[in-house]
Structure 1
């Protein structure tokens, strides 16, 4: 059975992940540098890693396997997971796939450059109810697809 890995620092859809995982009886692992609320649910695991810059990312990459599911807004982490055969979703439901990851990395790098040169400001759009709904739908579809493969 596939597992779900969540890059949990600042993830706005933790409750939605738990809801979908419970419906499909999948294990969820929240990976964070700290501040996770413990759960009594045996299907929910919390992993606290060191405070290093990419410690959570490194842990997820080392533990996720082909056909698992990962939730992250971190494009470089997604770029590391996609070649492993992991289904990767952003918190707005945006999938990162072999076909789309190259453009996602290029756009991230371009925006970072524009922020550094002062051409644009570094504000992210707010997280909306529409984003939450799109995420729920995308996660459910991704879980069904992964379970069919398993």
Structure 2
């Protein structure tokens, strides 16, 4: 099991939580981005820089993900691809993407895209808050505890 991170838009605090979790749980965390990322020295943490381009990092994550892996992303189409490969997807605010909610999330995303194309200001997500960081950390800890408890 590994944790893959869609790192270009991942909040700094979430990366810090992941770095600490990698050391504590001795789980591999790989950040994928189209820019250089500084990571702490650790045998459990690495960064992959991909070329710039639309969805290049997402494609690399889909290529790397295996059944049971965890992907951290706010990108709904990427989360859908991860679920198709039997991976698990968690957003940086601590919300799980599941088979039960992914179609609705994709539909809402498409509607919002159409509204933006039509020139309607749809706003954006609320700023990332300390509460979001705590929710993410809690979900990550529960996931890692389940992973340690399950025989492989």
Q: Normalization by structure 1: what TM-score?
A: 0.93
Residues 149, 105 of structure 1: CA spacing in aligned structure 2 closer, same or farther, 3 A cutoff? farther
More off after superposition, 85-94 vs 109-118: 109-118
What is the match of residue 123 of structure 1? 124
Distance apart, 1:53 and its partner CA: 0.9
More off after superposition, 38-47 vs 61-70: 38-47
What is the match of residue 70 of structure 1? 71
Equivalent residues in 2 for 1:1-150, closer than 5 Å: 2-12=1-11, 13-147=14-148, 148=150, 150=152
Higher relative contact order (CA 8 A, sep 6+): 1
Residues 93, 136 of structure 2: 8 Å contact kept: yes
Residues 115, 122 of structure 1: 8 Å contact kept: no
Distance apart, 1:149 and its partner CA: 5.6
Q: Structure 2 stretches of 5 or more lacking a match? A: none
Equivalent-residue separation in structure 1 for 2:87 and 2:144 (angstroms): 12
Q: Normalization by structure 2: what TM-score?
A: 0.92
Residues 93, 133 of structure 2: 8 Å contact kept: yes
Equivalent-residue separation in structure 2 for 1:149 and 1:119 (angstroms): 50
Residues 29, 44 of structure 1: 8 Å contact kept: yes
Q: Structure 1 stretches of 5 or more lacking a match? A: none
Equivalent-residue separation in structure 2 for 1:136 and 1:130 (angstroms): 10
Q: Count matched residues.
A: 149
Residues 109, 24 of structure 1: CA spacing in aligned structure 2 closer, same or farther, 3 A cutoff? same
Q: What secondary structure is seen at the aligned counterpart in 2 of 1:88?
A: strand
